[in-house]
Structure 1
Amino acid sequence: MSVLPVHHRTVTVRGHEIFYREAGPADAPVLLLLHGFPTSSHMFRDLLPRLADRYRLIAPDHLGFGRSAAPDAADFPYTFAGLAELTSAFTEALGLDRFALYIQDYGAPIGLRLALAHPERITAIVSQNGNAYEEGLGAEAWAPVLALIAERTPETEEPVRAIRSLDGIRWQYETGVPAEFRELLSPDAWHHDAALMSREGQDAVQLGLIADYGANFALYPAFQEYFRTSRVPLLAVWGEGDEVFVPAGAEAFRRDLPDAEIHLLPTGHFALETHAPRIASLIDDFLTRHVKGE
């Protein structure tokens, strides 16, 4: 497998500068990669070169994340509906009318909102710890978030702030990763995320999004109906040690998509940090069978 370069680009979408990484031939089948919290397209740095010989890979930073613009929370509605609308506009700005989705963490409700709005555009879905089922929510990890969703007060905000601290971010990277794979984790990853999360204005941005997460729960039945009616090809590559989105969330896809391909890997929430070669191989095989000729 040849290694092709990854390009780092920006595009203005509805007045906001969106940063994205792109690799692969312009006429190849498209895979749109949507990252989660608290990271950015940086999480795909090891994956993109491994797939770029056969696919056009596009990985944007959500508004407020990574190297995309981060307008003040008073000037942009930081909700999942707002981010999904902006992501849809991003795909249109790049002329993407057919694409597969790679969804992880926050990328799942954002990407699945795109699928609800334009099911004809989605060729396949790769879910890497990208949840769409209540049973996928880890009870302990979600307790402070659910408290904030139920009632936003200074008392419920404070525990959630700890999630985006350096220690809180490191916990997300290390938890559930067996000792044999711990040395594959680069400390640069959580320091990179923590530095961007500490920028001015991030407190309001991130608290607003986390408080809005309940709106995604309300859409779970619609997401599941989309799976049943579309029969979209779906591959779940899931870190089985993830305590945020637990393996039951991966297994649940088969309830609505009996042909879903489920692979539980011995790692955590950020599975690419330890298993990028394996995940790349699974994606390549999956997309070769399901999006050939797109």
Structure 2
Amino acid sequence: MTAIQPASEYLTACGHEIHYMHWSPDRSDPIVMWHGLARTGRDFDPCARRFADRFRIVAPDTIGRGLSGWSAAPEAEYRLEHYADIAVEMLDRLGIERMRWVGTSMGGAIGMVLAAGPLKGRITHLVLNDIGPALAPAAINRIRSYVTQPPVFDTVLELETYLRTIYAPYGAISDDQWRQMAETSTRRRDDGKVTVHYDPAVMRVFAETTGDFEMWDAWDAIEAKTLVLSGETSDLLTQDTAEEMTRRGPKASLAVIPGCGHAPALNVPDQLDLLDRFLAS
């Protein structure tokens, strides 16, 4: 069987050029896959490849990341609320009415905002990959330490080595996947050196607005069927928070992913089988 290949596409939402990978656009049953704070939609390639024979898959780059446009008003627009507005307009433009949502870290936070409000009743299944309605302060400080100071390298291979270090908690990632991560995370500066793909203002605003990620009220308003994935050694989603998520709001199912911290890469059979059972239910 020939492997399904995605299309690289663009549209305008809320005045921004948004890049997204589009798998099986002729299928009627969609999954939206939204990446984490400093990442891109290409992280979902292994996951999307697993489901593209049955589902239409949309995996965007959030503004300020990847191939999507950068904001001219970062303090106002590099915020969860604006990301949610972009998602709604984007999905409406694509004609997607009801969907399953798989969100890693920040992508899960966007999913919570939407499932509690603008897309309530339209998101039928919500997967939150190592994210909850409260973030552990130690993890926030760790993230701030590397995302607010974009590194600079002479070569892409040096950038790949850096990514292998900071994203080691993702778990088992093949050499080919590390290379793809490097190549989809690279931006060449005017001086010819290599840095990470994202607008530095994204991370500055995150560092100033972590309160946006405190959202128990939103959690309690969610009605979608919900699955929470927790990295066994995650420093972002604490055990107490994860267990509280099973008792209130949508009363999520909880699966602890062994051998991972923040956040599982959703790229190996055990993790994909878990998603498959939930998304097919």
TM-score, L = length of structure 2: 0.80
User: Which residue in 1 is equivalent to 2:190?
Assistant: none
- Pick the aligned partner of 2:210 from 209, 213, 221: 213
For residues 159 and 27 of structure 1, the distance between their equivalents in structure 2, rounded to whole angstroms, comes to 39
User: Which residue in 2 is equivalent to 1:94?
Assistant: 94
Aligned-residue CA RMSD (Å) = 3.1
Structure 2 residue ranges without an equivalent (≥5): 153-158, 188-193
- Pick the aligned partner of 2:182 from 178, 187, 191: 191
- Pick the aligned partner of 2:148 from 154, 161, 164: 161
For residues 81 and 258 of structure 1, the distance between their equivalents in structure 2, rounded to whole angstroms, comes to 21
How big is the shift at 1:10?
A: 1.0
Answering whether residue 118 of structure 2 is matched by residue 124 of structure 1, we say: no
Instruction: State whether residues 17 and 69 of structure 2, in contact with CA within 8 Å, keep that contact through their aligned partners in structure 1.
Output: yes
Instruction: State whether residues 101 and 126 of structure 1, in contact with CA within 8 Å, keep that contact through their aligned partners in structure 2.
Output: yes
For residues 141 and 192 of structure 1, the distance between their equivalents in structure 2, rounded to whole angstroms, comes to 26
- Pick the aligned partner of 2:271 from 253, 274, 279: 279
For residues 273 and 65 of structure 2, the distance between their equivalents in structure 1, rounded to whole angstroms, comes to 28
Structure 2 letter corresponding to 1:233: K
User: Which residue in 1 is equivalent to 2:237?
Assistant: 245
Give aligned pairs, total: 266
For residues 159 and 288 of structure 1, the distance between their equivalents in structure 2, rounded to whole angstroms, comes to 37
**Residue 73 to residue 60, structure 1, CA distance change in 2 (3 Å):** same
**Residue 203 to residue 121, structure 1, CA distance change in 2 (3 Å):** same
**Residue 158 to residue 235, structure 1, CA distance change in 2 (3 Å):** closer
**Residue 54 to residue 215, structure 1, CA distance change in 2 (3 Å):** same
Q: How does 1:6-45 map to 2 (within 5 A)?
A: 6-24=6-24, 26-45=26-45
Name the structure with the higher strand share.
Answer: 2
Structure 2 letter corresponding to 1:142: I
**Residue 120 to residue 246, structure 1, CA distance change in 2 (3 Å):** same
How big is the shift at 1:195?
A: 2.5
How big is the shift at 1:276?
A: 3.0
Instruction: State whether residues 241 and 269 of structure 1, in contact with CA within 8 Å, keep that contact through their aligned partners in structure 2.
Output: yes
Range with greater deviation from structure 2 (194-203 or 100-109): 194-203
How big is the shift at 1:247?
A: 4.2
User: Which residue in 1 is equivalent to 2:220?
Assistant: 225
CA offsets 1:187-231 (integer angstroms, 9 cap, x no match): 3365346524946982223211332221231xx12222113xx2x
User: Which residue in 2 is equivalent to 1:150?
Assistant: none
Q: How does 1:250-261 map to 2 (within 5 A)?
A: 250-256=242-248, 260-261=252-253
**Residue 9 to residue 205, structure 1, CA distance change in 2 (3 Å):** same
For residues 240 and 37 of structure 1, the distance between their equivalents in structure 2, rounded to whole angstroms, comes to 20
SS in 2 for 1:188: helix
Name the structure with the higher helix share.
Answer: 1
How big is the shift at 1:169?
A: 5.2
Instruction: State whether residues 239 and 247 of structure 1, in contact with CA within 8 Å, keep that contact through their aligned partners in structure 2.
Output: no
For residues 144 and 265 of structure 1, the distance between their equivalents in structure 2, rounded to whole angstroms, comes to 21
Instruction: State whether residues 162 and 168 of structure 1, in contact with CA within 8 Å, keep that contact through their aligned partners in structure 2.
Output: no
Instruction: State whether residues 30 and 55 of structure 2, in contact with CA within 8 Å, keep that contact through their aligned partners in structure 1.
Output: yes
Instruction: State whether residues 6 and 23 of structure 2, in contact with CA within 8 Å, keep that contact through their aligned partners in structure 1.
Output: yes
Instruction: State whether residues 123 and 233 of structure 1, in contact with CA within 8 Å, keep that contact through their aligned partners in structure 2.
Output: yes
For residues 258 and 244 of structure 1, the distance between their equivalents in structure 2, rounded to whole angstroms, comes to 20
TM-score, L = length of structure 1: 0.77
SS in 1 for 2:121: helix
Instruction: State whether residues 88 and 119 of structure 2, in contact with CA within 8 Å, keep that contact through their aligned partners in structure 1.
Output: no
